[in-house]
Amino acid sequence: MGKFVWTTLWQIMMSKIAPRNQSGEYIRPNSELRNWVKSEENSPYPPASGRYTLYVGMGCPWAHRTLVVRALKGLESVIDVSVVSPSAESGGWVFDSPELGCSTLAELYALAQPGYNGRSTVPVLWDKQTKTIVNNESAEIIVMLNSEFNEFAANPTLNLYPQELKEQIDQWNEKIYTYVNNGVYRCGFAQTQTAYNQACEQLFTTLDEIEAALANSQYLCGNQVTLADVRLFTTLFRFDIVYYGLFKCNLRRIQDYPHLSIYLRNLYQLPGVADTCDLESVKRDYYGNLFPLNPGGIIPLGPDISYLQVKN
């Protein structure tokens, strides 16, 4: 097969998983379902124990955020979790066994909104009572988990988004989302050299800035963990495992950063967090399902992440 034919096929396959602009830059579509669980009178989605389910994929960094906050807040007995897996054959997330009469996540979306034709992504915050999707935007779900279920939480006093730090947290969130969380995808899904070069340079410039900030601070906003740390953590956990190689983010590993590597280890060792980290699912979901980036589907044996378990 000639280079032109393979490149054309690759571009067609990439267009299915990674929408791009004319410059070949990956453009992430916005989440569409944006309602809120609120502790207020006449709220259609009031906080309650046992009423809501999180649908997650263990390899997905966006879904992983919700599991981390659920663990830190002590909401394991309050909010159920149901795991879906990516399927290259179906081109979407599927259930191991049918739930609510659905075999795929797309069917669950259609159950919530008949005629829905948007992207069927994780995480999903599902309301069992109204049988609908409350929200599918991870950044908003973790805010709800932090503040709206305190009366049921095992760790109600932990506030990951305190008022006095909101401006600083939001500033970090904006930068980290643009250049790190989404930045690794802008590298991996870039469809021109120029787009890749720009995304990769911005990614490592930002990681260098975070490294410098952590030289004098335990966490991004001082000595307490916040939602900004949660949002960064799930990308850092995957970085050396998949983004460094598969997404060509290979200027440096997180292990090569003195402060970032300690920061990642400390977050990993927070109570309950390690249990949300599924190394094998991460490797399987990325290497096994992103066919245009890894046509052979070979899943690497490494890397060794045992350093994350080393106690200070």
Within 10 Å of residue 204's Cβ, how many Cβ atoms? 19
User: Residues 245, 161: contact at Cβ < 8 Å?
Assistant: no
CA-derived radius of gyration, the chain: 19
- Quick one: 114 and 250 in the same domain? no
Tokens read off for 302? 């490494």
- Quick one: 129 and 168 in the same domain? no
Q: What is the CATH number of the domain that holds 189?
A: 1.20.1050.10
pLDDT of residue 199: 97
DSSP state of 221: T
pLDDT of residue 89: 79
pLDDT of residue 292: 84
| 255 sits in which H/E element | none
Q: In angstroms, how far is CA 252 from the centroid of its own chain? A: 21
- Quick one: 115 and 199 in the same domain? no
In the chain, DSSP finds a helix count (H) and a strand count (E) of 10, 6
DSSP state of 58: T
- Quick one: 142 and 260 in the same domain? no
Cis status, amide bond into 123, omega within 30 of 0:
yes
- Quick one: 83 and 112 in the same domain? yes
pLDDT of residue 312: 72
* Residue 116 within any structural domain of the chain: yes
- Quick one: 93 and 212 in the same domain? no
* Residue 9 within any structural domain of the chain: no
Give the residue numbers spanning the domain of 267.
163-309
Tokens read off for 172? 């970090």
- Quick one: 173 and 101 in the same domain? no
Q: What is the CATH number of the domain that holds 113?
A: 3.40.30.10
- Of 147, 173, 188, the position where a domain reaches its end is 147
* Residue 15 within any structural domain of the chain: no
- Quick one: 125 and 78 in the same domain? yes
pLDDT of residue 137: 96
Tokens read off for 153? 């939480």
Nearest to 36 by CA among 143, 122, 114, 110: 143
Work out how many domains the chain is built from and give that number.
2
* Residue 72 within any structural domain of the chain: yes
* Active site residues per annotation: 60, 185
- Quick one: 141 and 202 in the same domain? no
- Quick one: 197 and 276 in the same domain? yes
- Of 93, 119, 147, the position where a domain reaches its end is 147
- Quick one: 183 and 221 in the same domain? yes
* Residue 28 within any structural domain of the chain: no
* Residue 42 within any structural domain of the chain: no
pLDDT of residue 10: 44
Tokens read off for 199? 């995304």
| Dmax (CA) of the chain | 65
* Residue 120 within any structural domain of the chain: yes
- Quick one: 141 and 169 in the same domain? no
* Residue 140 within any structural domain of the chain: yes
SS3 call for 102:
strand
CA distances from 255 to 10, 194, 267, 277 (A): 32, 27, 14, 17
Nearest to 280 by CA among 308, 261, 302: 302
pLDDT of residue 257: 98
pLDDT tens for the chain, 312 residues long, are 555 544 544 454 455 556 667 666 766 677 778 899 999 989 999 999 999 999 999 999 999 999 999 999 999 999 999 999 998 777 789 999 999 999 999 999 999 999 998 889 999 999 999 999 999 999 999 999 999 999 999 999 999 999 999 999 999 999 999 999 999 999 999 989 999 999 999 999 999 999 999 999 999 999 999 999 999 999 999 999 999 999 999 999 999 999 999 999 999 999 999 999 999 999 999 999 888 889 899 999 999 999 999 987
